[in-house]
Amino acid sequence: MIVWEYLAFHYMDAENNLISRWDSAPHHRHLSSFPFHLHTPQGAQEHPAITLLEVLSWIEATIEL
């Protein structure tokens, strides 16, 4: 069994600007999804735990191929 103490998936554009970052760092205790949350250029928001496959699916759905 794998137990994650911390996870982070960071998605940036070609100029190294944040697009999205999903993580479980324990610094947004006010969010109901604590410790899991999503960072965007607009700030941190609630988000449930996410898998790498879910992140890749999200990226695929948001980019233009």
pLDDT at 64: 72
41 in any annotated domain: yes
Interatomic CA distance for residues 25 and 10, integer angstroms: 13
Q: How many CB atoms lie within 10 A of CB 65?
A: 3
pLDDT in tens, 26-58: 999 999 999 999 999 999 999 999 999 999 999
pLDDT at 5: 77
Q: Count structural domains, the chain.
A: 1
pLDDT at 29: 95
24 in any annotated domain: yes
Q: 43 or 4, which is more confident?
A: 43
Q: What is the pTM of this model?
A: 0.84
Region for residue 10 given its phi and psi (left: phi exceeds 0; alpha: psi -120 to 50; beta: otherwise): beta
Query: What are residue 23's DSSP bridge partners?
Result: 8, 37
Q: How many CB atoms lie within 10 A of CB 40?
A: 13
pLDDT reading at 10 higher than 70 = yes
2 in any annotated domain: no
